[in-house]
């Protein structure tokens, strides 16, 4: 039986960047296992293919690389901020080498200062990050180029699930497939992504790894005419704004802003939630973005993923999928109907969404938080609090429990590394990619007999 030097679980950005680093260093043999389809077969953008397969959830995203250590995850809490910034630049260079567009959104300092002042006056915080926008079509090109580069350098098994991580005497030894087959490896990197968050949580519990629940992010996808958001999107492309509600002091943030984009549905484990993306070369008449409420729960509850699933399943029960509602109808305490939606000047880009009433889906606390932030946003971008604004639900981010790792992203089980969104430490393409690089470089150093860095575990 073939024994691998490294087994990588998951072909999202984290797993792919691990493989790129390892292959470049001549480490091998390497096995990359992905439960979804290869990039050439990922065609169903409305089903499970949207989140699962070569490229992970990022394959059909609009491909925003947020080039700041302050956005997209918590790597700066594990690795020195200066080092994270340097790694982000290196990861960005790799994206460029595989065909990412050269343009970045980096406006002059006085423009950013003005936006920050406007945000403060509206009781919000504006967080700036330079952004490289790939566009959905360019994401696929970049991922295909990476696939072709790795083709003859590693072993690739797609449409193959991993059942368990094999750990013997406190050390990773490989993986077990649902068939019972065991594949042996000296090192294991788990990069299951958002779609594998539930599996990662179960595996961490089975192996006795220390983990703490991350807050669950739940909210809506907002859609407005592009002209409403143009003041922001023409300058920074994506405005990252944070607001703390007056009623509950909860944190609400904008997320994944898509100028001239489309609202899309995504299916995960039988549930249908909402998301959005935009193309580099194709435009709609609208801009969409998410408003997400971050909630932490009191003990003994420790299942934020289960809570998020329950809210999404309620929307699916009431609307047979994604529900859309005019803001004016929500404020008036009535459901949106097909007739009312037909009079809306914001034409929905997700026509299969069911007109309905989101007040039957979200707890009062969540709806109150969302309404407060929309009112605050109105002070910066007039028109966003219009009765013609569309709200789609539910948008949810299934972040894994945050697993205890050291600064090389190694878990409490020796030679077992956990990276990307599935580890609970990243929340986006670029930091996920960097996390894969960090784990791979730790393995490369050990392979070369170099001393380890400080390896204290960090919760």
- What would the pLDDT profile of 147-193 be if each residue is shown by its tens digit? 999 999 999 999 999 999 999 999 999 999 999 999 999 999 999 99
Mean pLDDT along residues 408-429: 93
State residue 268's pLDDT score.
77
Q: Does residue 121 have a pLDDT over 80?
A: yes
Mean pLDDT along residues 275-296: 90
Kindly report the length of the chain. Answer: 459
Angle, vertex CA 325, rays to CA 324 and CA 330, nearest 5: 155
**Partners of 416 in beta bridges:** 188
Mean pLDDT along residues 402-412: 94
Name the range with the highest mean pLDDT among 41-45, 402-406, 435-439: 435-439
Q: Where are the alpha helices (DSSP H) in 49-122?
A: 81-97, 109-121
State residue 18's pLDDT score.
98
Confidence of residue 63 (pLDDT cuts 50, 70, 90): confident
Instruction: Report d(CA 267, CA 363) in Å as an integer.
Output: 23
State residue 47's pLDDT score.
54
Q: Does residue 49 have a pLDDT over 70?
A: no
Q: Does residue 240 have a pLDDT over 60?
A: yes
Instruction: Report d(CA 153, CA 207) in Å as an integer.
Output: 31
Confidence of residue 458 (pLDDT cuts 50, 70, 90): low
Domains of the chain listed by start with CATH number:
4-106+131-212+400-447 (3.50.50.60), 216-397 (no CATH)
Q: Does residue 10 have a pLDDT over 90?
A: yes
**Mean pLDDT across the chain, nearest whole number?**
91
Please, are residues 35 and 160 in contact by the beta-carbon 8 Å criterion? yes
């Amino acid at each position: 039986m073939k024994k691998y030097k490294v087994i990588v679980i998951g072909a999202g950005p984290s797993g792919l960047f691990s493989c790129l680093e390892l292959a470049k260093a001549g480490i091998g043999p390497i096995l990359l296992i992905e439960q979804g389809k290869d990039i050439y077969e990922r065609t169903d953008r409305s089903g499970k293919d949207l989140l699962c397969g070569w490229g992970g959830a990022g394959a059909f995203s609009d491909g925003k690389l947020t080039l700041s250590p302050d956005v997209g995850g918590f790597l700066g809490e594990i690795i020195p901020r200066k080092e994270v910034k340097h790694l982000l630049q290196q990861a960005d260079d790799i994206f460029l080498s595989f065909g990412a567009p050269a343009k970045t959104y980096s406006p002059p300092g006085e423009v950013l200062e003005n936006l920050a002042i406007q945000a403060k006056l509206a009781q919000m915080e504006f967080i700036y990050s330079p952004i490289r926008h790939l566009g959905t079509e360019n994401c696929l090109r970049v991922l295909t180029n990476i696939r072709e580069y790795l083709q003859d350098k590693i072993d690739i098994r797609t449409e193959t699930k991993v059942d368990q991580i094999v750990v013997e005497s406190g050390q990773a030894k490989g993986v077990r497939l649902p068939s019972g087959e065991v594949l042996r490896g000296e090192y294991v990197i788990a990069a299951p992504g958002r779609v594998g968050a539930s599996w990662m949580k179960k595996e961490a519990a089975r192996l006795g790894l220390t983990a703490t629940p991350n807050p669950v992010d739940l909210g809506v996808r907002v859609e407005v005419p592009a002209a409403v958001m143009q003041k922001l999107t023409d300058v920074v492309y994506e405005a990252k704004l944070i607001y703390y509600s007056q009623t509950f002091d909860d944190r609400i943030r904008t997320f994944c802003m898509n100028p001239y984009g489309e609202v899309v549905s995504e299916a995960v484990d039988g549930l249908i939630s909402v998301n959005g993306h935009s193309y580099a070369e194709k435009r709609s008449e609208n801009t969409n973005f998410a408003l997400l409420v971050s909630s932490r729960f009191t003990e003994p509850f420790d299942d934020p993923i289960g809570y998020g699933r329950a809210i999404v399943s309620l929307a699916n029960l009431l609307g047979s999928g994604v529900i859309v509602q005019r803001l004016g109808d929500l404020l008036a305490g009535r459901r949106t109907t097909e007739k009312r939606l037909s009079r809306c000047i914001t034409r929905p880009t997700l026509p299969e969404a069911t007109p309905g009433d989101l007040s039957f889906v979200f707890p009062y606390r969540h709806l109150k938080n969302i309404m407060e932030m929309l009112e605050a946003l109105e002070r910066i971008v007039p028109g966003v609090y219009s009765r013609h604004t569309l709200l789609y639900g539910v948008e949810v981010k299934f972040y894994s429990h945050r697993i205890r790792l050291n600064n090389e992203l190694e878990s409490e089980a020796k030679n077992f590394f956990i990276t990307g969104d599935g580890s609970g430490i990243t929340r986006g393409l670029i930091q996920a990619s960097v996390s894969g690089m960090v784990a791979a470089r730790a393995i490369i150093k050990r392979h070369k007999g170099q001393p380890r860095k400080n390896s204290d575990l960090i919760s």
